[in-house]
């Protein structure tokens, strides 16, 4: 069995192992990390040898920590990263490069249709009828997108939304409200087969699926990182947030994960505060006094046009994993348009948590 895991902000950890009589055997850890002394690598292998195959990541990491020689220095490597690589090997997880990735980047769509396309395309991936897809959104109008479990009245000021012509929609994933305007946001979705995140905890899957875009920012001279649970942050402030929805495996398909991210390229903070009801508790949790200071747009940080930022993101993804031009099929679009009308534009869905 073979498992790989890139430690967030660190290096790649690779684990090869067998299982016999319910225990790990012939464990071999490798990777492009740095480790001193050399004997520490053998100690890690020996610590994992014989561990029950059902041991969770915390238990595996504890075995590694207990076995490390005194004074061991790990750079780009953590005991938790080793443990996750083991769990991914046992789960027979796939890797980004195991797939033929498809890009969908179409003309602007309404907010409701974007919600529907996420659901339809991810369901197709879950059923095995569509390959992994990276979809870049173009917004047809300004919107507030609230999380699946948020209270509509607690999150949105209806008078402010009406005054500024803001459409309010509810997405299928959890998380917080997002304020977007045409040309001011960069939004994308990853619809991926569930085996890509096998062996990862819910939180670890966020970091794993965000890693490529952090690399793209690094190429643009921006040091960005994943901030648990679902933010992408820099020294200057938050630049985006992610949310996920899981679709279970069936007899016909592997299941799938929808991971979508909205980042602020530019922002009208005054308008945002007239539309969103951002509570004091949320501000306290983020460690800042001002909602305006929570988000630091990509326009200021990169100095690049929005289209250039997107192009560089896609180039980074393509160089890492490959990416071919794709499209939404006529059948998928027909289903999405129906869902946009019957579900995502309906007051019942939008106010399902009043």
Q: What is the pLDDT of residue 13?
A: 97
Distance CA 13, CA 329 (A): 38
Core vs surface per residue 112-144: b (16+ CB within 10 A) or e: bbbbbbbbbbbbbbbbeebbbbbbebbbbebbb
Distance CA 78, CA 81 (A): 5
Q: What angle do CA 89, 245, 242 make, to 5 degrees?
A: 90
Reference 295, options 351, 339, 202, 233; nearest CA is 233
Residue 276: Cβ-neighbour burial (10 angstroms; 0-12, 13-18, 19+): buried
The token duo for 88 is 């991914």
Query: Quick one: CA dihedral 24, 25, 31, 37, positive or negative?
Result: positive
Query: Quick one: CA dihedral 23, 27, 32, 34, positive or negative?
Result: positive
Task: Give CA torsion, residues 98, 323, 139, 114, to 10 deg.
Answer: -30
Q: What is the pLDDT of residue 279?
A: 53
The SS3 assignment for 241 reads strand
User: What percent of the chain lies above the pLDDT cut of 70?
Assistant: 95
**Global confidence as pTM:** 0.91
Q: What is the pLDDT of residue 106?
A: 96
Residue 149: Cβ-neighbour burial (10 angstroms; 0-12, 13-18, 19+): exposed
Which spans in 179-305 are helix H? 202-219, 269-275, 280-285, 298-302
Distance CA 315, CA 322 (A): 9
Q: What is the pLDDT of residue 283?
A: 45
Which spans in 179-221 are helix H? 202-219
Q: What is the pLDDT of residue 83?
A: 98
Distance CA 136, CA 107 (A): 10
Residues in the chain predicted with pLDDT less than 50, given as ranges, are 280-281, 283-290
The answer to whether the CB of 264 falls within 8 A of the CB of 297 is: yes
The SS3 assignment for 264 reads strand
Other CB atoms within a 10 A radius of the CB of residue 76 amount to: 17
């Amino acid at each position: 069995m073979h498992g790989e895991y890139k430690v967030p902000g660190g290096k790649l950890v690779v684990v090869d192992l067998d299982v016999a009589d319910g225990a790990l055997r012939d464990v071999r850890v490798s990777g492009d990390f740095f480790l001193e002394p050399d004997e520490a690598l053998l100690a890690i292998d020996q610590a994992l040898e014989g561990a029950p195959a059902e041991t969770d990541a915390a238990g595996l990491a504890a075995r590694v920590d207990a076995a490390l020689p005194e004074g061991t220095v790990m750079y780009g490597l953590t005991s938790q990263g080793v443990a996750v690589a083991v769990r991914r090997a046992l789960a027979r997880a796939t890797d980004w490069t195991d797939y033929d990735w498809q890009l969908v980047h179409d003309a602007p769509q309404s907010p409701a249709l974007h919600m529907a396309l996420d659901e339809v395309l991810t369901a197709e991936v879950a059923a095995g009828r569509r390959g992994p897809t990276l979809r870049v959104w173009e917004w047809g109008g300004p919107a507030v997108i609230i999380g699946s479990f948020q209270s509509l009245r607690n999150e949105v000021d209806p008078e402010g939304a009406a005054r500024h012509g803001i459409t309010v929609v509810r997405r299928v994933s959890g998380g917080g409200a997002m304020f977007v305007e045409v040309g001011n946001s960069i939004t994308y979705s990853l619809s991926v087969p569930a085996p890509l995140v096998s062996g990862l905890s819910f939180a670890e899957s966020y970091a794993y699926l965000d890693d490529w875009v952090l690399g793209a920012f690094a190429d643009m001279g921006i040091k960005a990182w994943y901030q648990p649970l679902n933010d992408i942050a820099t020294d200057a402030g938050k630049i985006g947030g992610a949310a996920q929805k899981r679709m279970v495996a069936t007899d016909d398909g592997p299941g799938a994960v929808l991971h979508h991210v909205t980042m602020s390229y530019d922002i009208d903070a005054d308008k945002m505060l007239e539309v969103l009801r951002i509570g004091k508790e949320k501000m306290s949790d983020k460690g800042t006094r001002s909602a305006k200071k929570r988000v630091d747009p990509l326009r200021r940080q990169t100095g690049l046009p929005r289209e250039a930022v997107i192009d560089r993101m896609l180039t980074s993804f393509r160089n890492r994993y490959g990416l071919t031009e794709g499209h939404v099929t006529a059948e998928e679009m027909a289903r999405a348009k129906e869902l946009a009308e019957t579900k995502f534009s309906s007051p019942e869905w939008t106010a399902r948590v009043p």
